[in-house]
Structure formats: C-alpha cells, structure tokens
Structure 1
Amino acid sequence: MAFGARHSRALVLVASTFSSALVFPTPAATQTADVVGQPEQKKQKQAKRKSAAQDAQSTSSAMNARAQIGGTPVQSLDTITVAASKTEERAVDALAPVSAVTLEQIQGLQPNRMSDIFYAVPGVSFQERGDDPATVINVRGLQDFGRVAVVVDGARQNYQRTGHNANGSFFLDPELIGGVDVVRGPTANIYGSGAIGGVVSFRTKDINDVVRPGERWGVDMTGSYGSNSSRGLGSIFGGVRASPDVDMFGGAVYRTQGNYKDGNGTEIGNTGNDIAAGVMKLTVRPADGHEIKFGGVFQDYQYSIGQFNRGPVATAAQRALFQGSSVYASDAKNYSGTITWKYAKPDDMWWDWSATVYGNRTDNDQVKTYHSGTTPSAYCGGGFGNNVSGCVGDRRSYLLDTIGTDVNNTTRFNVGDWRNALTYGFDVFNDKVNTSDSRGNSNITTPGGERTVSGGFAQLKNNYSTWLEIVSAIRYDRYDLDSAAVSTGGDRFSPKITVGVTPVAGLTPYVSYAEGYRAPSITETLIAGEHATGGGPAFFPCPGGTAGLFCFLPNPNLRPEVGKNKEAGINLKYDGIFAASDSFRGKFNVFRNDVDDYIDLVGSTPISPILIVYPGLYSQFYQYQNVAHARIEGVEWETMYDAGLWYVGLSDHVMRGKNTQTNIGLATITPRKVTTTAGLRLLDRQLILAAQWSSFAGNTDLPAGYLPSTSYELVNLYLTWNATKDITFTASIDNLLNQYYRPYAIPGSGADSTTQNDVLWSSPGPGRVYKAGLKIHFGGA
C-alpha cells in the first residue's frame, strides 16, 4: 500500500471495508491535540490527574451502551493500555501490534465463550473443543505450554493437561471480563517470561463498570436466553463507595446450556455445561497516591468431556480406536487471588509503581462415566474400560498451583530536549503440577513436577520533540525445573529496540526487533513411560521394562525456545475528517518471527512392531525435541472509521508458518482471517444495529496425518436498544448462515492416519444461535 500527502496537514484514510484506498481530506481536518502536541511528562502528569475522571467516563460509557457493536462511540484503539510497555498509552499510539476489546463491545456481542469476543482482533484464533469450556488462545500461530502469556488481573494462567486437546488452557467466563488487551509477538517480552507468541491480559469487572458518576452505589442485573440449545445466563454485579478511600465490589454469574447442533444439524455430544462464578474486590487508598486492591475470583465448571462411539469403522485400527471412546464427568474449579499496590502522584517523577502478588489454582476432578464397546474388560475386573483411560467409575485429577509476583516502577526525567521514561522491574512465578490417576495413562502424559520461572527487565522510552520515539529494553530470564528424576534450568538476556517517527500529525511508522525466551514446560521435559494399549496388544518394549503402543521419552536436555521477531508497522489516527465528529483509527503490521529451538513432539523412524506381528510401520519412541528453526510471518491490520451515526471497520491477518528444517507447515496456523464490522446508531443513538462478517481460510499446509480445518464464513447480527437510561435490551444471531465449520486441523492417531475421533466429533462449532437479553441498572447517591 502506498501513502502520500499533498501538504503537511493532509490526512491519510484507509477505506478499510471494501478496498485499500487513499483519501485526502481537507486541510481543516486536524489531529487530536494529545497525539504529538504535548511534552511526554506533561501528558503523563495530566493522565494521572485525570485517571479518576476517565474511570467515571468508562462507567458512563457502559451505561449508555454506545459502541462498535453495542457501546460507547469512543474508538477501541483509543483505550488506555499498559500491556506493550508497562507505561500508560493508547493502543493506537503504541509502537507495537496492540489491540483492545472494551467492556462495551463485549456486552454488545453477548458472548457465550471466550472466542466470541476476538473475531475482530487480527492474529488471534482458538483451538477449542465443544465438550470442554476451557479456552485455548493462539496468537500468530503459537499456542501451548505458555507461548502466549495469559494473565487475569495480573495472575498468570498456566493450566495444562495433555490429551486429545491443546496443551495449555484456562478457565474464564466472558461475563466476568471488564476488558482485554492483546499484544502480538515477543515485543511484549518485558511483560513476562515465555511470551514468544504474545500477551493476552484480561481485566475482570470492577466498581467503575457498575457505579455511575454521581452514584454512591450501583447494581447491574443481566439475564439472557439463547437457542441451540437452551442457553441461559444470569448475573449480578454491584459496588458501593463506602468512603472516598474505600470501594467494595462483588458479583456472581450462572451460565448453562444443553448440547448444541452444528451447521449440518448434528448434535455434538457433551457440549452442555453449567458454570457458576463469582468475583470480590476491595479497594483502599491509605494515603495520597496509594491504592491497594484485594481481588478474588472463583469459578466452577460442570461438564462432560469425551465423545460416544459413532462413525465409520473401516479398519482394525479404527475399531480399536473407537472401542476406546470414553466420557468423563468433570468438575473444574479455578481460584484466583490478587493483591495489587499502586502508587502514582502527578508531581512525583521518580516513583510510579505497581506491585502484584497472586495465587492461582486450577483443580480439575474427573470420573469416567462411559466406555464404548460391549465386551467386558479383564483389566477392569469384568467392567468396561481399558488401561488408557481407566475403567468406568475410576477417578483422576489434574491440579496446578501457581504463585507469583510482578513488580515494576517508572522514573521520568529530561536530558536536554529528550523526555525519558525508565521502567524497570521483575516477575517470578512457581508452578506445581500434581496428577492423580490410579489407573490409566494420565500420570504418564501429564507428569507432576515443579517449575520456577523468573526475570527482570529495564526499558528506556525516549521521546524527542513531537516526531521521534525510541523504545529500548533488555530482559533477563531464568528457569529451574525439578522432579524426582530430573533437575534442569537455564537463563538468557533478550533485547528489544523500537524506533518510530511522526513526520505529520496522525501518521507514525515504526520498526521493531524483539526477542523472547520460553522455558520448557514440565510436561515437555518430564513426560516418560509407555502409552497404554487400550486393551489391545503391546507393540514395543519401553525403558524400565514396560511395554505399550509406543514409548514417551523424557528430555532433560531440552533447550528453551527463542523467538526473534522483526516487525514494521504504521499507526494512523485522525479526527474531523469529513465531519466534526468523525474519526479514523488504524494499525498495520508486517512481521517475521524466527523461533530457534522450537519444541515439538517428534516420533522416531517408523518400524514394524517388535512384540507382535502387525501390518504397518509405527514409531517406537516419541519425545519433545528442539526443531532447529521455525518461521512464522505475515501481515495484520485493524481499522475503524466512525462517523457517529454509523461506523465500519476491517481487521485482517494473512500468515504462514513452517518448520524450515522440513519445509512442512505448522499445524497451529490460521492462514487467513478477515472480519468486517459495520453498524448504525438510530433513535438518537439509543438503538444500535450491527453486523460482523468473518471469513476464515482452512490450513492445508500440514504435517502428514492431519485432517485440514475447514474454510468458512461466519455472519453475526447484533442489536442493542437503550430503552431507558437504566434498561437495555440486547439481541443477536450468531452464525446466521448456519455454516458447518471446524476451526483447526485435527491430528491423526497413528501411521495409518486414523483421526482422533473424539477431537473430530467435538471440534465443530455451533450452528445458528438466537439470543436475547435484558440488563437493568439500580443505583443511588
């Protein structure tokens, strides 16, 4: 795309919905004053003074529900974020690929699960199972084992269970969310260890999301119902300002649904679930500039995971596989507690700091309730089951405890004409994994152990005049991993440098280089033992005298992954283009992330089974190993033009990823996602009608044995009507075209490429869904 200017006050506008084009508005159109016109320190001081007012404005925005898809007309890229640099800045101003999803947008979308709120965020996709309400976030083709750092109110979410699912997930109901910041790529390496794919930072709802300006207390009650099948939601959130220095806030959520049908009309078993959740927060301000927040979140997910025996049975391998189909009644509980202490005063340039201490527990207890097949098993004493998944009635549990802290401070100073902000800090977290499975394979595939990951960083942000910004940083990471059999560790320094210029108001191109460091996980390092046979014969002997279908080998010599990301971007921000109240925001990025020592599960050269005569060639050993090099590259953009009475925007990513050693594509890539968003604000902007069209391309560049994902189009319609200042109706139609789709590639189960059936059957998304909701506000002084 080419950019030009007629003179110094020309404005560049990308007409993003239908084509990429240049628009040159009149010279009268001017940039908002805060873009480049104020010195950095003055802006930062004013930001601190206005923080309370901004919080109040966010409450007013939620009250009015006027956004792109259901909220305030303030552009989402104008959201204040600290995710990229630990310092406050608008997402559109950050010299990094940053996106924000606001509370107002979330409310208008009526999300049923986490992926529903990210359609318009480029570079982000999901590998979810319909029978598992946990969320797996993929950023720029990277997921699993902490490659994407997910934090909720500052607490790391590191839960992982190995099975026929993604290796890394977390539990968070979208009704609890007050906002999300996304940083793509290792440019956010100062935010925490391991984030070579990026950072996704969630904020749960707080008092300013409920209590309006002028109110001392407030309560929001929400209820909704949806089809496909019997989707129900009820929530209540309330807060009170007990005094100018004490706030109290709490809320509760209950969500339920039955089994849904996909776009072909097939009921997807075990997609029903029941979710109960709550949040509590206490905020105190003991002295001028100090704020201490105590927060707690509890969630309980009741669901069944696994699919019943169905489908063709064409080969012996398929018959054996289908006989292993199992269902587990699951009770997953997540507990999170945080204490955050912040200090900031407008006249204090030395100290602007934040310190968070957190604990997070995910406890997933499962009991086997079903095993396909009609032949009793000797392994189960005449009952039904096998040594892969245990017997009907057997229990297993997966427990992960994470404790950690994150501390940082910013010191601001001038040197001549340079305005400088030095941010420095450290973070550390400890994971303890405990897997309990008296019979079955879980103790092998998800081994217990302990890992401590820590790091420190220093970042210098330099601003010269109104046209130059340089961000340089260095991060030090270290990890230690211990179990009864293995003790390992490592460390590394990772640099970052970013340079941006603003030759004319509203246009900021930048270039960036950043490295990230991901320590091997407990499972990748320690997994060892035989994969159970499922009641059939053992193929291979394994170390330690056991035998199985194949053998997992530990790898104490596994090296950490290092991401080396090259990026160029352009930020665009203009107001008053064709009318006094219109605005355009845009962010464009092109990137290449070269990952050295990429970690992948590698099978040994296939051979004939040793312990039995059986046709075909199979790998005897599987081990997590370092692949010399993987490369992920692509382009992304996110734009929005808002004319007040209507708005339209486009977000897009096109990417590819390969193991450069074999020139084979990575299975976790979503090659293309294009989302067009448009809406109208009618009846004095009290009625918002919106539509969203997302187009996905299936990944066909895959390792052998994978079933490609589908290409598909999702069209969603939304309505928000503010009947009064206290009553809001919402309605939506998801998947209007009732399309069948599988969002990600399905791995094979062996050399004969038989598909892992439970993944295949549980991966399709729901067909058409109708939803309607009502929100009522109460409050008083």
Structure 2
Amino acid sequence: MALGGMTTRALLLGVSIVSMGALVSETALAQAAAQAGDVQPQKPKPAKKKRAAAKPAVVPAQVASARAQIGRPGQSLDEITVTASKTEERAIDALAPVSVVTLEQIQGRQASTVGDLIYNVPGVWLQNRGDEPSTSINIRGLQDFGRVAVVVDGARQNYQRTGHFANGSFFLNPELIGGIDIVRGPTANIYGSGAIGGVASFRTKDIQDVLRPGETWGVDVNSVIGSNAGRALGSAFGGVRINPNIDFFAGGTYSTQENYRDGTGYEVANTGNRLSSGIAKLTVRPADGHEIKLGTVFQENLYSVGQPARLAGSPNSTNPNGTNNLGGTSIYATDVKNYTTTLGWKYSQPDDKLFDWDAKIYWNRTENDQVKTGHTSTTAFDGCRTPGNAISGCIGDPRGYTIDTYGFDVFNTSRVDIGDWHHAFTYGADGFRDEVSGFDKSGNSNVTTPSGTRSVFGGFGQWKVNYKSLVEVISGIRYDNYELSSPAGGTSGDRFSPKVTIGFLPGSIATPYFSYAEGYRAPSITETLVTGRHVAAGGGGAFAVCPDGLGFFCFLPNSKLRAETGKTMEAGLNLKKDGIFTGTDSFRGKLNVYQNNVEDYIDLVGPITTATNPTVCPAPMGTCYQYQNLAGGARIQGFEMETMYDANSWFVGVSGSVQSGKNNATGVGLYSIPSQKVTTTAGVRLLDNSITMSVMWTNVQGNKDIPASYLPATSYDLVNLYIMAKPTKDVTLNFSVENLLNQYYRPYAVPSSADFTSTQNDVKWASAGAGIVFKGGLKYHFGG
C-alpha cells in the first residue's frame, strides 16, 4: 500500500528512533547473562511476618497505579501484563504483540469514549457512531461476533445487535477504567475462545488507584467541562483499608453531552447522551497469599440513536465524501443498562512453586430498551395511529434486547527449576453461556437479532521454558467446544488449537521472536439463525416475498455454518535499553510482521437471487442475503510498530500499523480492514515533573481496497494536545484540545450502493467524528 507524504515523514521519524536502539544492540550478547533476571525473575523468600502485616494486594498493576498517582514518569511497555501468557511479565518482555495503556495516560486524556484511549494503539481501530455510545473494537481487520475478545475485570462482554452498526459492541464508561491491555492476534488463544483477532482486557479502578503509599483511606474527586457542545463530567472514587486484610472501594460517575458539530460545522443529530455509572469492590485476604475480591459495576446510558431527514443543501449532504439520499432513518429513544458482577480468588506466594492460581466467576447483562420516536415518512401503517412500517414498527412502539453472559475462568501456574532451565506450566479452563432474548411490538428486529443460547467451553495447557538468557520457548494447546440452539435450529463443533513461540536472547537489548498460533471462533446466534425481511428507507419497495411477508430482501438462516479458524504466523522484535545518553533515559520498542489465514471466514453474502441460485434463495423470495463461509477463506497481513524514547524531561515515540486483507475467492479487499495510521507522540515534563505537555499527531490514510458496495473511510490528520499540571500534591489540572485542525473525518467504511448515491446516511452522518473540542478538568485528592 502506498503511503502518503505525511505518513512517510512520520514513519521516517519512527525509523530514526528505532535505529537509535539498533546502534546499541551490538552489546546484546555481552549483556545477556547480566540481565537474565529480566526474563525469569526469581521471587525472593520473604522474611517471617505476622499475618496482620500481609501485603495489601496481589494485583500486579498496583505499583504502576501508585506511581501514576504521584506523577512519576514511566515507560508503558514496562508495565506488568498477564494477558498474553497468563503469567506475569513486562509488556516489553512478552514474546507477543502486547500494548498497555496506563492509568497515568488515562488520567491525562479526559476521554469521552473508550476510543479516545486506544485510537493510537497499533493494529487497533474503533467502529463508533456518534449517536451510539457503545464501542466496537477492530484488531488487525477482525471485529464483530466475538472475533475480538473484550473482557472487563475478566468478564466477557458479548453484547451484539444487528443494525446499521457493528455486530458486536460493549458499554464502558472511560472514567471507570484503571488500565488496558491489548494483545493482537490469536497468540493469546489461551485467554479465551473466539479471539482470532485478539484480546482487549480492561481493568476498572480499584483501591490502589486512589490510596497513596501510607494512606488507609482516600478519595479522588474529578470534574471536566468541554466545548462542542455542552460536555461535562463528574466523578468520585474512594477507598478505605479497614485493616491490612480488608479493603473496600466504591465510586460513581455522571456525564452529559449535547449534540456535537463535525469538522465541517455540521451538527450531527442525536450525538448527545447522559451516562451514569457506579462501582463497588470488597477485597478480603483470609490468609497469606490469598485474596478474594467481589466486584460489581452498574452503568446506564440514555441517548437517541438514528438520524432524521435532512434538507437539501445541508452541509453533510454535499461534502466531498459522497452524496446521500436525504430520507433519514428511524429514531429510537434508548436506555441501556449494563451490569457486571465478578467474584475472584487469587493465590500467590513467593516460595510456593506448585500453586499460583487465579479463579473467577462472573455475570454480565446488557439490557437495551428502546421506544421509536421518529420515522422516515408521515404515513400510518396497518392501522397504527402513527407512522411506521413492518420492519421498524410504529412511532411509540417499544422494542428491546437483553443478553446475559455467565462465565468462569480458572487457571494455575506451577514452576520448576532444573539447573539453568526454568519451567512454568500453566493450565486451566474457561467457558461462558450467552442467553439472548428480544421483543418488538410491531417491527421485526427481534427476528433479525434472534433469541437463543450459545455455550462455549474450553481448556488449555501451556509450557513456558527459559534457558539462561539465551532462548525462551512457549508452547501450548487449547481445546474449544461450542453448542448453539434455538427453536429455529442449532449447530455445534469443537477443535484443538496449537501455538508455539520461540524467542532468542530474552532480556537483552534486542529480542527477536517467531510464533505460530491458531484460534477458533464459534459462529454467533445471529450469523447462524438470522431470518426475516428488510425494506428500503421509508418503507417503500416490496420486491421479495420473505417467509414473514414482503420485504426489500430476505435474510436466510444457515444452520450449516462452520466455525472460523485463524492461523497466524508472526515475527517480532523487542527492543529495550536504559542509559543510552544519560543515566536515566530509556528506549522501548516492539515491531512485528504477521500473516493471518482465516479458514471458513464468515461474511454476509448477497444479493443472492432466486434466478441464479434457487437452492439458497428458493422461489418466490427473489433476493436474499445469508451468512456463509467464504470459499478459500480470507488472508490478512500487516506490519506494526510501537516505540518510545524517554529522557525524563522530554519524550518522543511513534506507533503505526499498515495492513491489508482480501477475500481469497474473489481477490477483493475486506471492508473490515481499517485505514493505515501512524501516531507520533512528543512531550516535555517541566518543574520536577509537575507539568507534562504532550501532542499526539495521527496521520490516517483511508483504505480503498474494499468491495464496491462500501464508501471508503476518509484520510485525515488528527492532532490532540494535552497538558497536565500538579500545583500541589493533591491537586491536578488537565487541559486538552482534541482535533486541533478541526478536520472532518470518518474512520471506517460505510455501506452504500455501487454509485454512492444511496449511502446508508444514518451511518455516514453519525460516524463522523467531532470537530475541535476544548476540555478542562480539576481533580482533587483527599486522604489520610
């Protein structure tokens, strides 16, 4: 793929930084033995102590969180992660494409959406709508229906509803987030079933994010106001250490936003919302090394989704990104409630080599209750006193969707040292059950998002071995089994998925590694059982005779749908060096290339006509669409990089990703492949780190290798400025400018007709990002 001029300059800057690390890599062999402890840390035996003096928590992120509270700088790739291999390791040492977003970074962003926190992560993209506050994550061109495993405090987020949006999203208030780990590709297949694209793991805030060293209680109060238009947020989180073995933490947030204007000055309807949330966690340590944590999160999102009809000549109907029909779409007043409850038990003792376990059970529910408030015409339907049609129902009609996910995840690590060989055996099991239900008074959305149950279970074993500081090998195998059922039919399947990774000179300046990993994704309820009719905007044009009546075209179920299998080959290079020019500077970098061959890739296929394929689309249907396994599957390949040089008083880094993906049968690009991007981050720290000023410039080149039925994403430059100041140890001031260049941008492809004259205008208008936004925030800490 060709790179634009600005992208090339950004990449050159990144290459220069990486080259700096390469200059010192010649000393890698000499330093390998001296740094062996970086790879296979040996837990020292603690001194004898009374139980009352037990360490206050087991959570690895505690150290990083405490550091963030007092404003000390740090390399995010030095953070501890367990997502890639379920064993504790620094992200820079992981033989996998891992990225970490720290609490310090989160606090400085003043994020309105989850996407504001991860848009710069290589290989990661967001499919967001301004009138829909949920988030859909795309990793390496894979998204929807669980291809990316999203977990919050270890609980799977499996919400999905078919419509003019992503088929798989989740609700999470960014003010609740205490840390993010992202693993790209199926190398983390032991983390859970289905993650052929990767894993996005979110940790919500906990007591260690509020209490400072030496405190037994603490409270953080935060407030943010912003422009474009009427943005405001307030939150309070507090914790108390009742004694060394009992902690309690709780907090809540409330935010509001009015309709924003995009970069053209056009007000995007229904982008206002009201978000509220609450969180509580109780931690008990009944014995040394044991920690039991009960946590619950509640969130409510109030908003309207859909776009009204536009007047001819409206700015967004004639801008350079394509023309639209101006009919608008149905509008729904929406109330989404999300509940997550987790109960976990961890055990870890430095001198216990046999047991180091983490066990968790969880429940997650997403309730989406809607009432239709607007329609595309003024015509009454089938005796309704209000406008409507058979697909979307009548104005005033309710509809709703509920998904309950029940799950568990348990694993243990046993360690054995034999001479210079260090072995870690990790083994466990996990599973979840989705229960989906829906209703629609006079429409048929409960048909296109069918009810049913899906049960997915799996187990894994992993062997991680390190020889001195010369070589590290990680091998594992995972077994998955699924069963899907509903009154309309069902399917089932199982598979073993292997992985193997080998890395050389772990712990040295330069660590190359190579890996092969497979992942297995069970088809979703919607992909297998979706059925019903669809009409054109406005309710006109009945051209197909579907089983449930006339429609524009018919959705057909496919009970013979096979699960997808992702097979990824990858080569990576980890770079790390301290004391390059001074005694305190550091460089970190992760680079990798990959190719993912997805067998039995599932996509919505159509239009299928009765005349050309009567077996799939029997008479008298006329025109049909169906989820099918693509012949030959799909191939996705790309390059990713993440670098950061930190001189304490200033820092600069570059991250970026370039990728492509094709339908192997047709040679046509996949619409889910995101744009290529390069993000340059630079900043300074002043007055003993009490002031941090930074800029993030993301250059995006829209992907145009997509099917003709999609309008490509735009190319753009997104520049954000951030300032964080701590005039006292208890007061933090934040200021930010988002989209400094006030650009119109639409990050992902939009479904449309081949000539772009009938774009699904609700998606096009609502997917445009906000124009320039100013934000200011004040955070105050109480504690003692």
Normalized against structure 2, the TM-score is what? 0.91
Paired with 1:15 and 1:258, the residues of 2 have a C-alpha distance of 39
Corresponding pairs, count: 748
Residue in structure 2 matched with residue 678 of structure 1 by the alignment: 682
Task: Give the direction of change, closer, same or farther, for the CA distance of 1:425–1:342 in structure 2 (3 Å limit).
Answer: same
Match of 1:246, as an amino acid?
A: I
Render the CA deviation track for 1:261-284: whole Å, top value 9, x for unaligned.
000000000000000001100000
Match of 1:391, as an amino acid?
A: C
Residue in structure 2 matched with residue 659 of structure 1 by the alignment: 663
**Equivalent pair of 1:603/1:619 in contact (CA under 8 Å):** no
Residue in structure 2 matched with residue 502 of structure 1 by the alignment: 505
Deviation at 1:520, TM superposition (A): 0.2
Task: Give the direction of change, closer, same or farther, for the CA distance of 1:363–1:138 in structure 2 (3 Å limit).
Answer: same
2:353 aligned residue (341, 349, 352): 349
Deviation at 1:744, TM superposition (A): 0.5
Match of 2:604, as an amino acid?
A: L
2:68 aligned residue (62, 71, 75): 62
Residue in structure 2 matched with residue 561 of structure 1 by the alignment: 564
Render the CA deviation track for 1:698-746: whole Å, top value 9, x for unaligned.
1111112211110010000010000100001000000000000010110
Deviation at 1:321, TM superposition (A): 7.1
Paired with 1:212 and 1:230, the residues of 2 have a C-alpha distance of 33
What secondary structure is seen at the aligned counterpart in 2 of 1:62?
A: helix
1:575 aligned residue (561, 575, 578): 578
| 1:98 pairs with 2:98 | yes
Residue in structure 2 matched with residue 614 of structure 1 by the alignment: none
Residue in structure 2 matched with residue 454 of structure 1 by the alignment: 457
Pick which of 241-250 and 28-37 moved more: 28-37
Task: Give the direction of change, closer, same or farther, for the CA distance of 1:173–1:33 in structure 2 (3 Å limit).
Answer: farther
Task: Give the direction of change, closer, same or farther, for the CA distance of 1:619–1:344 in structure 2 (3 Å limit).
Answer: farther
2:588 aligned residue (585, 588, 598): 585
What secondary structure is seen at the aligned counterpart in 1 of 2:601?
A: strand
Render the CA deviation track for 1:728-768: whole Å, top value 9, x for unaligned.
10000000000000101100268986211110111100000
1:408 aligned residue (401, 407, 411): 411
Residue in structure 2 matched with residue 258 of structure 1 by the alignment: 258
Deviation at 1:62, TM superposition (A): 2.6
Paired with 1:359 and 1:260, the residues of 2 have a C-alpha distance of 35
Task: Give the direction of change, closer, same or farther, for the CA distance of 1:745–1:283 in structure 2 (3 Å limit).
Answer: same
Residue in structure 2 matched with residue 748 of structure 1 by the alignment: 752
Residue in structure 2 matched with residue 638 of structure 1 by the alignment: 642
Residue in structure 2 matched with residue 726 of structure 1 by the alignment: 730
Task: Give the direction of change, closer, same or farther, for the CA distance of 1:162–1:634 in structure 2 (3 Å limit).
Answer: same
**Equivalent pair of 2:520/2:565 in contact (CA under 8 Å):** yes
Render the CA deviation track for 1:260-319: whole Å, top value 9, x for unaligned.
0000000000000000001100000011111000000000000000000015599xxx99
Paired with 1:467 and 1:49, the residues of 2 have a C-alpha distance of 34
**Equivalent pair of 1:25/1:578 in contact (CA under 8 Å):** no
Match of 2:297, as an amino acid?
A: V
**Equivalent pair of 2:462/2:477 in contact (CA under 8 Å):** yes
**Equivalent pair of 2:324/2:757 in contact (CA under 8 Å):** no
Task: Within 5 Å, give how 1:15-414 maps onto structure 2.
Answer: 16=14, 21-22=19-20, 24=23, 35-37=35-37, 40=40, 42-43=42-43, 57-65=63-71, 72-310=72-310, 323=327, 325-374=329-378, 376-414=379-417
Match of 2:543, as an amino acid?
A: F
| 1:773 pairs with 2:777 | yes
Residue in structure 2 matched with residue 418 of structure 1 by the alignment: 421
Residue in structure 1 matched with residue 435 of structure 2 by the alignment: 432
**Equivalent pair of 2:324/2:761 in contact (CA under 8 Å):** no
Task: Give the direction of change, closer, same or farther, for the CA distance of 1:589–1:454 in structure 2 (3 Å limit).
Answer: same
Match of 2:14, as an amino acid?
A: S
Residue in structure 2 matched with residue 469 of structure 1 by the alignment: 472
Task: Give the direction of change, closer, same or farther, for the CA distance of 1:635–1:750 in structure 2 (3 Å limit).
Answer: closer
**Equivalent pair of 1:58/1:208 in contact (CA under 8 Å):** no
Paired with 2:764 and 2:382, the residues of 1 have a C-alpha distance of 28
Deviation at 1:36, TM superposition (A): 2.1
Deviation at 1:548, TM superposition (A): 1.6
Paired with 1:582 and 1:32, the residues of 2 have a C-alpha distance of 20
Paired with 2:449 and 2:62, the residues of 1 have a C-alpha distance of 46
**Equivalent pair of 1:59/1:211 in contact (CA under 8 Å):** no
Task: Give the direction of change, closer, same or farther, for the CA distance of 1:411–1:357 in structure 2 (3 Å limit).
Answer: same
Paired with 2:251 and 2:609, the residues of 1 have a C-alpha distance of 55
Match of 1:242, as an amino acid?
A: I
Normalized against structure 1, the TM-score is what? 0.92
Deviation at 1:445, TM superposition (A): 1.1
Match of 1:602, as an amino acid?
A: V
Paired with 2:35 and 2:298, the residues of 1 have a C-alpha distance of 40
Residue in structure 1 matched with residue 445 of structure 2 by the alignment: 442
Residue in structure 2 matched with residue 613 of structure 1 by the alignment: none
Deviation at 1:190, TM superposition (A): 0.2
Residue in structure 2 matched with residue 479 of structure 1 by the alignment: 482
1:626 aligned residue (620, 626, 629): 629
Match of 1:328, as an amino acid?
A: Y
Paired with 2:459 and 2:45, the residues of 1 have a C-alpha distance of 26
What secondary structure is seen at the aligned counterpart in 1 of 2:104?
A: helix
Pick which of 435-444 and 333-342 moved more: 435-444
Pick which of 229-238 and 682-691 moved more: 682-691
Paired with 2:27 and 2:707, the residues of 1 have a C-alpha distance of 56
Task: Give the direction of change, closer, same or farther, for the CA distance of 1:45–1:478 in structure 2 (3 Å limit).
Answer: farther
Paired with 1:54 and 1:372, the residues of 2 have a C-alpha distance of 53
Residue in structure 1 matched with residue 491 of structure 2 by the alignment: 488
Paired with 2:34 and 2:87, the residues of 1 have a C-alpha distance of 16
1:705 aligned residue (687, 703, 709): 709
Render the CA deviation track for 1:199-228: whole Å, top value 9, x for unaligned.
000000000000111100000000010000
What secondary structure is seen at the aligned counterpart in 1 of 2:77?
A: helix
Paired with 1:54 and 1:494, the residues of 2 have a C-alpha distance of 29
Residue in structure 1 matched with residue 50 of structure 2 by the alignment: none
Paired with 1:588 and 1:624, the residues of 2 have a C-alpha distance of 35
Paired with 2:26 and 2:525, the residues of 1 have a C-alpha distance of 59
Task: Give the direction of change, closer, same or farther, for the CA distance of 1:640–1:380 in structure 2 (3 Å limit).
Answer: farther
Structure 2 residue runs without a partner (length 5+): 1-11, 47-53, 614-620
Task: Give the direction of change, closer, same or farther, for the CA distance of 1:49–1:622 in structure 2 (3 Å limit).
Answer: same
**Equivalent pair of 2:66/2:208 in contact (CA under 8 Å):** no
Residue in structure 2 matched with residue 522 of structure 1 by the alignment: 525
**Equivalent pair of 2:130/2:769 in contact (CA under 8 Å):** yes
**Equivalent pair of 2:270/2:305 in contact (CA under 8 Å):** yes
Paired with 1:37 and 1:87, the residues of 2 have a C-alpha distance of 15
Q: CA RMSD in A?
A: 2.6
Match of 1:492, as an amino acid?
A: R
What secondary structure is seen at the aligned counterpart in 2 of 1:770?
A: strand
Deviation at 1:19, TM superposition (A): 6.4
Paired with 2:345 and 2:25, the residues of 1 have a C-alpha distance of 48
What secondary structure is seen at the aligned counterpart in 2 of 1:187?
A: helix
What secondary structure is seen at the aligned counterpart in 2 of 1:733?
A: strand
Deviation at 1:37, TM superposition (A): 3.6
Paired with 2:666 and 2:62, the residues of 1 have a C-alpha distance of 55
Deviation at 1:109, TM superposition (A): 1.1
Deviation at 1:669, TM superposition (A): 1.1
Residue in structure 2 matched with residue 548 of structure 1 by the alignment: 551
Render the CA deviation track for 1:672-723: whole Å, top value 9, x for unaligned.
1100001000112111110000011111111122111100100000100001
**Equivalent pair of 2:25/2:510 in contact (CA under 8 Å):** no
Paired with 1:681 and 1:515, the residues of 2 have a C-alpha distance of 43
**Equivalent pair of 1:540/1:551 in contact (CA under 8 Å):** yes
Match of 2:750, as an amino acid?
A: I
Paired with 1:367 and 1:749, the residues of 2 have a C-alpha distance of 29
Match of 1:655, as an amino acid?
A: Q
Residue in structure 2 matched with residue 5 of structure 1 by the alignment: none
Deviation at 1:143, TM superposition (A): 0.4
Percent identity reads 58
Paired with 2:59 and 2:626, the residues of 1 have a C-alpha distance of 55
**Equivalent pair of 1:15/1:21 in contact (CA under 8 Å):** no
